[in-house]
Structure 1
């Protein structure tokens, strides 16, 4: 699957839950393989999710940081209470939340997904 076809089919395969017929189709497998193998389309897909949450990746060091930090923000979820939130932003920077009842975190200086230096 090429990028243009992937983007055309994105809406079709991004509305969950998918029917069994769609999720077991060869076309869906090609769609997922393309998502896994094409960095450009993977980042495009992340940007779609970020925008749906009401944010812009331009306000973050990279699209990966934006995707993970905004995961619970649109729903006003406390990131220290939700184990699905793996990255937070505080006044001290970005970090991995430590769920010990407080607001501790392990500070990260580089994006865990792309390695970009976080300023």
Structure 2
């Protein structure tokens, strides 16, 4: 999908309660497919979401890592230790890790980004 067309659809669909007639449309399906299958559309939509939330995504090696770290934080910016949907955390010390969901704060420290392979530094 052309990025400009995606941006137009994003403005119409994102963050809104949509009736079933809309979510069952071919246009909506194409929009959802573009988010999942088109890197330019995914990157643009993710950057827009993180900008709107005031999250400093540009300090991360890739948008996927930035988005997953953002998703690991609660509304106060603290790590959500008890959320099984969290797949990566970044600690204040600059360490990144994959949480072990055992009820505590255990993690497996990682040194490379799981998405782009960039060496993660403190």
Aligned twin of 2:51 = 51
Aligned 8 A contact 2:72 2:88 in 1? no
How far does residue 37 in structure 1 lie from its aligned partner after superposition? 2.3
How far does residue 4 in structure 1 lie from its aligned partner after superposition? 0.8
- 1:48-69: CA deviation from partner (whole Å, max 9, x where unpaired): 2212322121122221111111
Unaligned runs of 5+ in 1: none
For the structure 1 residues 74 and 102, does the alpha-carbon distance in structure 2 shift closer, same or farther, using more than 3 Å as the test? closer
Off by >3 Å, runs of 4+ in structure 1: none
> What is the aligned length?
119
Unaligned runs of 5+ in 2: none
For the structure 1 residues 96 and 17, does the alpha-carbon distance in structure 2 shift closer, same or farther, using more than 3 Å as the test? farther
How far does residue 46 in structure 1 lie from its aligned partner after superposition? 1.2
> What's the TM-score once normalised by structure 1's chain length?
0.85
Show the 5 A alignment for 1:9-88. 9-73=9-73, 75-76=75-76, 78-88=79-89
> What's the TM-score once normalised by structure 2's chain length?
0.83
RMSD (Å) for aligned C-alpha atoms: 1.9
